[in-house]
Amino acid sequence: MWPFARGSQYLVLVAGTIIQLFLSVLTFQVMKRNYALAFYIIYWFLLTTAVFSIRFLYRFYHTRRQVRQIRKRQKGRQPIRVMIVGAGQAGTQIIVQLKTTQSLRIPVCVVDDNPLIHFYKNNGIPVLGDRNDIVELAERHRIDEIIVAIPSASSETLRDILAICHQTNCRVRLLPFFSELSSEQVHLSDVRDIRIEDLLGRDPVVYDMERVSRFIENKVVLITGGGGSIGSELAKQIAAFRPALLILFDICENSVYDLQQELMAQFGKLLNLKVLIGSIRDAKRLAGVFAEWRPNVVFHAAAHKHVPLMEISPGEAVKNNVYGTYNTALMAARYGTNRFVLVSTDKAVNPTNVMGATKRLCEIVVLTLNKLSPRTSFSAVRFGNVLGSSGSVIPLFEKQIREHRPVTVTHPEVERFFMTIPEASSLVLQAGAYARGGEIFVLDMGASVRIDDLARDLIRLSGLVPDVDVPIEYIGLRPGEKMKEELFLKDESIVRTDHEKINILSQINDPDLLSREVQKLLLLTSNGDETGLDDFMDHLLSVLENDIQAGDTGTGGRLPVVPYDSTYEINMQSLDEPARVPAGED
């Protein structure tokens, strides 16, 4: 330990010598030997010097031996000259390990924003300036690599430092947030390459652990779309809170099978896991699942999400998104689910495309059912794009860069909200714990990001130069796309929660109106009238939004169950009457 000892370890040594002095004084008093005060001062000084000298000599010998080994290994090989950003505890540990491990990397200089330590040395490495000097120092000292070692930095500070570092020609690496590290003792192995999410400047999510634990622990939890990007991450996070049973429901067997294997490897017998294959369009299948397992909590993440494809097949979007949500939510109400959480999207705000319109209808469905169901609280969580999700722009850009093809951006000024999949899932889970019924939770997405900037950052992270090594091609907006997304309407009011990244929109609407209009929508879908479907969806959204703004008519009412089968018949049933499942239906 002594080659890496810091101030705290030496303070322990000093404390030990003081205790030794105190015991010596007591011993001399018992032996009735009285010495002058100067004797004890000299005795303590010599004792402390001896204790420290032994350790400093060992540290000096160990360091010299390591340096000789490093030089021997580096003989004939080009060393990598490294700049460390951050002279705090983490940066100091990185410097010490770079100097004492058998690595080609040589620490050359340090930068830190604290002016009081400028031109001092940190373990023999000079601190030459602050972040604004990075570009100049990198050129002057022929730096090959920059390591940003500030795991406690805010997201804004980190983003600013990374932006400066990318003005150099150096490879940039990062010591991640403390929340990503296994302990506060950092190691060279913790240093990693920059990821695109680091450039977004997203702070780690802070859980209200007690509240989420009460929400999930010993509950039966059902996730529809359990094999998808958000569904699978929800499953991983929920599994850690020890549910009585975790049910993954998905139509895609391959993705949910992969997730099953991952969860079994991670949690083993500690997790009671059930994987069920089925479609949210199939009312009978869902009724069988709810009747057998009686979930306490439902996260509804299953949906068609690809905007251009849903423009081509609007009927499928309505069947899967609107009817599937309608179907799943009704089963939750009938079978006594305590909380139902819909995963929604910012495209539901002022929708200009079929996918967004269907997701807005989903929000209205669950808000309406919340008023009709005495036992189940229904809520929705609305947020923007997530990095790395299936069908998102990031994997497409990465594939184009790998293949050295032009990176295709729709428009240079297009902006989107982004967050990481773990962050979005954490906040969905947290919002579900806050839910009391009837809320639309809106996640704080931070500032919107230009897709053009995102594409250029990805090219730079690949070690290439935008417009030189990889061209950027502007292909125009696709059908249904907006220049900018919104998270709420301008006349909607925001209510803060206890969590800084979760807000609430409270809305009301007339159940009878929704019942009549959704019946018409589903009948149009069943008839395959896609031209009429587009027009009617515009009309339906307008009517329902006006109803929300006007307030509740207080008429009460019931929503219909619409079995989506070969006959497309409308069948009215009470929410309190369990759906009848034919014999042999699973």
Q: Which residues are catalytic?
A: 347
List of E strands, 459-571: 472-474, 495-496, 502-506
Give strand pairing partners of 375. none
Please check whether residue 159 is in contact with residue 199, taking contact to mean a CB–CB distance below 8 angstroms: yes
Say whether 125 sits in a helix, a strand or coil.
Answer: strand
Query: Residue 319 has what DSSP assignment?
Result: I
Report the C-alpha gap between 281 and 16 in whole angstroms: 72
Query: Phi and psi of 420, rounded to 5°?
Result: -80, 160
Report the C-alpha gap between 408 and 475 in whole angstroms: 6
Say whether 164 sits in a helix, a strand or coil.
Answer: helix
Report the C-alpha gap between 241 and 146 in whole angstroms: 39
Q: Which residue in 331, 296, 334, 337 sits closest to 214, CA to CA?
A: 296
Which residue has tokens 């040395």?
121
Strand 449-450 and strand 415-416: the pairing is antiparallel
Planar angle of CA 239, 241, 246, nearest 5 degrees: 40
| Longest alpha-carbon distance in the chain | 108
Alpha helix stretches (DSSP H) within 392-485: 393-402, 421-434, 451-461
The DSSP line for 378-397 is EEEEE--EEET-TT-HHHHH
Please check whether residue 235 is in contact with residue 226, taking contact to mean a CB–CB distance below 8 angstroms: yes
Alpha helix stretches (DSSP H) within 75-129: 89-100
Please check whether residue 403 is in contact with residue 365, taking contact to mean a CB–CB distance below 8 angstroms: no
Report the C-alpha gap between 412 and 476 in whole angstroms: 9
Tokens standing for 55?
Answer: 């350790």
Report the C-alpha gap between 543 and 360 in whole angstroms: 13
Q: Where is 198: in which H helix or E strand?
A: helix 196-200
- What per-residue string of b and e applies to 203-234 under the rule 16 or more CB within 10 Å gives b? eebebeeeebeebbeebbbbbbbbbbbbbbbb
Report the C-alpha gap between 526 and 279 in whole angstroms: 17
Which residue has tokens 């975790």?
246
Please check whether residue 237 is in contact with residue 311, taking contact to mean a CB–CB distance below 8 angstroms: no
Burial (Cβ within 10 Å: 0-12, 13-18, ≥19) of residue 92: buried
CB atoms within 10 A of CB 395: 13
Q: Give the contacts of 13 (CB within 8 A, at least 6 positions apart).
A: 48, 51, 52, 55
Length of the chain: 586
